[in-house]
C-alpha cells in the first residue's frame, strides 16, 4: 500500500496504479484500489495516521508478485541440469583460451574453488553473465576493456514479522528526500529497504551502519511504532550491476535494462537487468543472450526457444493447496537430546514452507524427515528442517555450510543469530553426507561464522544522502 497525505497524492497514485492495472492486463493479480484511513489502519495496523505535519488521507493498494530468489535460482540450475546442461558449482573462470590465429575466445581455464584444481574447457562461444563481476571477466579477454557497469549498492534490513501484516507491504515512492522506501512481509519476517548508492565491487559487500539507520529512519516516518535498531535481525548489502551510460552522473539515471554485447570475439556479455526481466515475454535477458550466442558461434539450434512454457523442477503438478498433503501424510521423526526417537506433527508452517520452497519435491524432503529421523527444526521460530540439509546436499549441489544458510535456505538473510545457532547441526549433517573429516568441519564453521559477520553492520560511515562519498 502507498500512504497518501493529501488528496493530490490520492488522485496521483490512484491514476498511476490504474494505468499499471491496464498495462498488466490479463496478468493482473487483483485490481488496485483506494482505501479510507480507517480501512487502511485495519489492513495495516502499524501505519501512522499522521505524518510529520500532515494527516493520512488514505492509501492506494496495488498487488505485485514476490519470490524466493535463492530457491528460484537453485530451481533454474537443477532444471537446466535435467535438460542436459553441465552445471558446475564453486567453479570460477580465471582466464580465457584464445585461438592463436584469429584471437577468438575458444574456451576458458576454470578453477574448482572447493578442490583448488584447475582445468580447461572449450566452447563455440562463451557467455559472460557474471553480474557485478562482468567487467573483471571482460578484462580477462582484453585488459583495456572499458567498464560497462556502474555498481550500485542496495542495503536491506530484516525486522520481526509484527511490523507488517501478512500479505500487505508498504511502499513510499517518494520520501521527503525523494527516494523509494518499502517494507514488505518476506519469508515470515519483514524486509525493509533500500539504498541505491555508488559502490566499489567486493565479493562480500557489508551494510554500513548509516545505511541501516537511514532505512530505519525512513520507514519510522510512516509507522505508529518506533523501529528500534535492536529489532534488526539481519542486514545485508547487494550490488546491482547497472548497465552504464558513460554520460550519466548518478545511479538513479542509469538504465535498469540489460545490455548484451560481444566486444571481444567469442565472448558474449549480458549485464544489467533484473529478475523481473530475465524471462520476460519480449526482450528477455536469457533469450537475448542465447540469441547473441547463437549468432556469435554460428550455432544451429535444433528447435525454437521452449522455456516460455517450461516449468521448473518441482513446478509440475504443484498447487497452492499441496502443503495439506504434507501436513496430513507425513510425520517429523525427531531425536531428542537423550537420543530417544519421537514423532512430531508436520505442522502447517513447516508444510507450507516445504511446499513453497521445493514444490512437489517437498514430499521427498518430508520422506527424509520421516524415515531418517531428520524432522527437527534447525532454528527455533523458523520452519527449516534438518531433512532439508540432507536433501540439498544430495540433490541441489549444496557443498558448504554457507551454501545452505545463504543459497538454499535464506536463514542467514532472515536472522543472523538463528543461522549461527543452527550451524553446528547443519555442519554435522553435511559432514555425514559429504564424508567431511574434523578439520573440514572446523573450516566450515569458521568460514560460515566469518560470512555471518558480514550481515552485521560495518561501523564505517560512508553513506550520506544516499551516496557513498
Ligand atoms: C539490493 C538488490 C535489490 C534487487 N532488487 C530486485 C528486485 O526487486 N527485482 C528484480 O527483478 N531484481 C532485483 N535485483 C536484481 C537481481 O537480483 C540481480 O542482481 C540482477 O538480475 C543481476 O543478475 P545477474 O545474474 O546478472 O548477476 P548475479 O546474480 O550477480 O550473478 C552473477 C554470477 O556470476 C558469478 N561469477 C562472478 N565472477 C565469476 C567468474 N569469474 N567465473 C564464474 N562465475 C562468476 C557469481 O558468483 C554469480 O553467481 C536486485 C539486486 C540487488 C543487489
CA of 24 to the centre of ligand 1 (A): 25
pLDDT band, very low/low/confident/very high, at 299 (cuts 50, 70, 90): very high
Q: Is the pLDDT of residue 459 over 80?
A: no
Nearest CA to ligand 1 atom 13: 274
Three cell numbers, residue 408: 538454499
For residue 315, tell me if it sits in a domain: no
Nearest-angstrom CA–CA distance, 145 and 370? 55
In this prediction, residues 208-212 reach a mean pLDDT of 90
Whether residue 283 sits in one domain with residue 400: no
User: Can you give the pLDDT at residue 178?
Assistant: 79
Whether residue 75 sits in one domain with residue 12: no
The 10s digit of each residue's pLDDT in 404-414 is: 999 999 999 99
| Contact criterion met (CB below 8 Å) for 288 and 259 | no
For residue 313, tell me if it sits in a domain: no
Whether residue 393 sits in one domain with residue 271: no
Whether residue 102 sits in one domain with residue 22: no
Mean pLDDT of the chain: 91
Q: Which atom of ligand 1 is nearest to the CA of 156?
A: 1
Q: Is the pLDDT of residue 248 over 80?
A: no
In this structure, what DSSP letter does residue 405 have? I
Considering 268, 302, 336, which residue would you say is the last residue of a domain?
Answer: 302
pLDDT band, very low/low/confident/very high, at 174 (cuts 50, 70, 90): confident
User: Can you give the pLDDT at residue 246?
Assistant: 43
User: Can you give the pLDDT at residue 255?
Assistant: 64
For residue 101, tell me if it sits in a domain: yes
pLDDT band, very low/low/confident/very high, at 188 (cuts 50, 70, 90): very high
Choose which residue among 69, 89, 130, 235 to substitute to test ligand 1 binding: the one with the highest number of ligand atoms within 8 A of its C-beta.
130
Q: Is the pLDDT of residue 353 over 70?
A: yes
Q: Which atom of ligand 1 is nearest to the CA of 131?
A: 27
For residue 119, tell me if it sits in a domain: yes
Task: For residue 422, give the H/E element and its range.
Answer: helix 416-434
| Contact criterion met (CB below 8 Å) for 140 and 93 | yes
User: Can you give the pLDDT at residue 315?
Assistant: 95
Q: Is the pLDDT of residue 346 over 60?
A: yes
Whether residue 445 sits in one domain with residue 368: yes
- Please tell me the least confidently modeled range out of 238-242, 249-253, 460-464: 460-464
Q: Which residue has the higher pLDDT, 106 or 459?
A: 106
pLDDT band, very low/low/confident/very high, at 54 (cuts 50, 70, 90): confident
CA of 225 to the centre of ligand 1 (A): 34
Tell me the backbone φ, ψ of residue 205, rounded to 5 degrees: -65, 145
Pairing of strands 58-61, 118-122: unpaired
Three cell numbers, residue 402: 554457507
User: Can you give the pLDDT at residue 469?
Assistant: 34
In this prediction, residues 259-282 reach a mean pLDDT of 90
Whether residue 76 sits in one domain with residue 59: no
- Helix, strand or coil, per DSSP, at residue 165: coil
In this prediction, residues 31-42 reach a mean pLDDT of 94
Whether residue 377 sits in one domain with residue 334: yes
CATH number of the domain that residue 336 is part of: 1.10.8.870
Q: Which atom of ligand 1 is nearest to the CA of 273?
A: 21
Nearest CA to ligand 1 atom 25: 131
Residues flanking ligand 1, CB < 6 Å: 92-93, 129-133, 137, 154, 194, 238-241, 273-276
Q: Cβ of 49: how many Cβ atoms within 10 Å? A: 12
Strand partners for 285: none
Q: Which atom of ligand 1 is nearest to the CA of 152?
A: 53
Q: Which atom of ligand 1 is nearest to the CA of 130?
A: 34
Nearest-angstrom CA–CA distance, 292 and 124? 12
In this prediction, residues 165-174 reach a mean pLDDT of 90
- Angle made by CA atoms 430, 433, 436, in degrees to the nearest 5: 70
Whether residue 75 sits in one domain with residue 58: no
pLDDT band, very low/low/confident/very high, at 468 (cuts 50, 70, 90): very low
Q: How many CA atoms lie within 13 A of 357 on its CB side?
A: 26
CA of 38 to the centre of ligand 1 (A): 41
User: Containing domain of residue 110, as a range?
Assistant: 69-148+244-302
For residue 225, tell me if it sits in a domain: no
User: Can you give the pLDDT at residue 256?
Assistant: 66
For residue 176, tell me if it sits in a domain: no
CA of 428 to the centre of ligand 1 (A): 30
In this prediction, residues 148-160 reach a mean pLDDT of 91
The 10s digit of each residue's pLDDT in 118-135 is: 999 999 999 999 999 999
Whether residue 74 sits in one domain with residue 33: no
Nearest CA to ligand 1 atom 48: 130
For residue 265, tell me if it sits in a domain: yes
Closest CA to 118 of 139, 95, 137, 100: 95
| Contact criterion met (CB below 8 Å) for 60 and 32 | yes
Q: Is 116 exposed, middle or buried (0-12, 13-18, 19+ CB in 10 A)?
A: exposed
Nearest-angstrom CA–CA distance, 446 and 8? 55
Whether residue 78 sits in one domain with residue 58: no
- Helix, strand or coil, per DSSP, at residue 159: strand
Q: Is 198 exposed, middle or buried (0-12, 13-18, 19+ CB in 10 A)?
A: middle
CA of 336 to the centre of ligand 1 (A): 41
Domain count, the chain: 3
Nearest CA to ligand 1 atom 35: 130
User: Can you give the pLDDT at residue 466?
Assistant: 44
Q: Is the pLDDT of residue 253 over 70?
A: no
| Contact criterion met (CB below 8 Å) for 306 and 347 | no
Whether residue 292 sits in one domain with residue 271: yes
The 10s digit of each residue's pLDDT in 355-390 is: 999 999 999 999 999 999 999 999 999 999 999 999
Nearest-angstrom CA–CA distance, 39 and 34? 9
In this prediction, residues 188-198 reach a mean pLDDT of 89
For residue 157, tell me if it sits in a domain: no
Q: Which residues contact 30 (CB under 8 A, 6 or more apart)?
A: 63
Closest CA to 219 of 443, 46, 352: 46
CA of 290 to the centre of ligand 1 (A): 18
In this structure, what DSSP letter does residue 11 have? H
- Angle made by CA atoms 143, 149, 152, in degrees to the nearest 5: 130
Strand partners for 236: 156
User: Can you give the pLDDT at residue 305?
Assistant: 84
Sign of CA dihedral 339, 342, 347, 350: positive
In this prediction, residues 3-20 reach a mean pLDDT of 92
**What percent of the chain shows pLDDT beyond 70?**
94
Strand partners for 210: none
User: Can you give the pLDDT at residue 107?
Assistant: 97
**Dihedral-angle region of residue 350 (phi above 0 means left; psi in -120 to 50 means alpha; beta otherwise):** alpha
CA of 132 to the centre of ligand 1 (A): 7
| Contact criterion met (CB below 8 Å) for 220 and 46 | no
pLDDT band, very low/low/confident/very high, at 465 (cuts 50, 70, 90): very low
Q: Which residues contact 282 (CB under 8 A, 6 or more apart)?
A: none
Nearest CA to ligand 1 atom 24: 131
pLDDT band, very low/low/confident/very high, at 78 (cuts 50, 70, 90): very high
Whether residue 127 sits in one domain with residue 113: yes
Nearest-angstrom CA–CA distance, 391 and 433? 10
User: Can you give the pLDDT at residue 199?
Assistant: 84
Find cell 542496495 and name the residue.
154
Choose which residue among 76, 87, 131, 157 to substitute to test ligand 1 binding: the one with the highest number of ligand atoms within 8 A of its C-beta.
131
Nearest-angstrom CA–CA distance, 114 and 440? 11
- The string over 362-385, giving b where at least 16 C-beta atoms fall within 10 Å of a residue's C-beta and e elsewhere, is bbbbbebbbeebbbbbbbeebbbb
In this prediction, residues 44-48 reach a mean pLDDT of 93
Nearest-angstrom CA–CA distance, 368 and 390? 8
Cis ω before 194 (30° cut-off from 0): yes
CA of 135 to the centre of ligand 1 (A): 13
Amino acid at each position: 500500500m502507498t500512504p497518501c497525505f493529501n488528496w493530490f497524492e490520492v488522485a496521483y497514485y490512484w491514476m498511476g496504479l490504474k494505468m499499471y492495472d491496464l498495462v498488466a492486463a490479463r496478468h493482473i493479480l487483483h485490481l488496485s484500489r483506494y482505501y479510507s484511513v480507517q480501512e487502511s489502519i485495519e489492513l495495516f495496523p502499524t501505519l501512522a495516521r499522521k505524518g510529520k505535519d500532515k494527516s493520512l488521507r488514505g492509501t492506494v493498494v496495488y498487488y505485485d508478485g514476490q519470490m524466493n530468489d535463492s530457491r528460484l535460482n537453485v530451481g533454474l540450475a537443477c532444471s537446466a541440469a535435467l535438460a542436459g546442461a553441465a552445471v558446475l558449482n564453486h567453479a570460477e573462470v580465471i582466464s580465457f583460451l584464445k585461438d592463436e590465429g584469429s584471437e577468438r575466445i575458444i574456451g576458458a581455464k576454470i578453477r574448482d574453488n572447493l578442490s583448488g584444481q584447475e582445468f580447461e574447457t572449450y566452447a563455440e562461444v562463451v557467455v559472460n553473465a557474471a553480474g557485478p563481476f562482468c567487467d573483471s571477466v571482460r578484462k580477462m579477454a582484453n585488459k583495456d576493456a572499458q567498464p560497462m557497469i556502474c555498481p550500485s549498492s542496495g542495503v536491506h534490513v530484516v525486522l520481526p514479522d509484527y511490523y507488517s501484516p501478512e500479505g500487505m507491504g508498504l511502499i513510499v515512492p517518494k520520501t521527503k528526500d525523494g527516494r523509494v522506501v518499502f517494507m514488505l512481509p518476506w519469508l515470515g519476517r519483514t524486509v525493509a529497504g533500500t539504498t541505491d548508492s555508488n559502490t566499489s565491487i567486493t565479493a562480500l559487500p557489508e551494510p554500513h551502519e548509516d545505511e541501516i539507520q537511514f532505512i530505519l529512519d525512513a520507514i519510522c516516518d510512516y509507522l505508529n511504532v518506533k523501529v528500534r535498531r535492536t529489532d534488526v535481525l539481519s542486514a545485508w548489502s547487494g550490488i546491482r550491476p547497472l548497465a552504464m551510460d558513460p554520460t550519466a552522473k548518478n545511479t538513479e539515471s542509469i538504465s535498469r535494462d540489460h545490455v548484451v554485447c560481444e566486444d571481444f570475439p567469442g565472448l558474449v556479455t549480458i549485464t544489467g537487468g533484473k529478475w523481473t526481466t530475465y524471462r520476460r515475454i519480449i526482450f528477455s535477458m536469457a533469450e537475448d543472450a542465447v540469441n547473441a550466442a547463437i549468432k556469435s558461434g554460428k550455432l544451429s539450434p535444433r528447435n525454437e526457444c521452449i522455456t516460455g512454457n517450461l516449468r521448473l523442477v518441482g513446478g509440475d503438478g504443484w498447487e497452492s493447496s499441496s502443503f495439506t498433503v504434507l501436513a496430513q501424510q507425513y510425520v517429523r521423526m525427531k531425536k531428542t537430546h537423550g537420543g530417544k526417537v519421537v514423532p512430531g506433527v508436520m505442522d502447517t508452517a513447516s508444510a507450507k514452507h516445504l511446499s513453497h520452497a521445493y514444490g512437489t519435491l517437498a514430499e521427498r524432503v518430508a520422506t527424509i524427515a520421516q524415515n531418517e529421523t531428520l524432522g527437527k527444526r534447525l532454528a527455533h521460530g523458523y520452519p527449516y528442517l534438518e531433512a532439508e540439509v540432507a536433501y540439498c546436499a544430495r540433490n541441489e549441489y549444496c557443498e558448504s555450510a554457507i551454501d545452505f544458510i545463504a543459497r538454499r535456505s535464506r536463514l542467514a538473510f532472515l536472522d543472523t543469530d538463528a543461522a549461527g545457532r543452527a550451524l553446528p547441526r547443519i555442519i554435522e549433517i553435511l559432514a555425514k553426507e559429504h564424508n567431511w573429516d574434523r578439520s573440514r568441519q572446523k573450516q566450515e564453521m569458521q568460514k560460515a561464522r566469518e560470512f555471518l559477520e558480514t550481515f552485521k553492520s560495518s561501523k564505517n560511515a560512508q553513506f550520506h544522502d544516499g551516496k557513498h562519498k
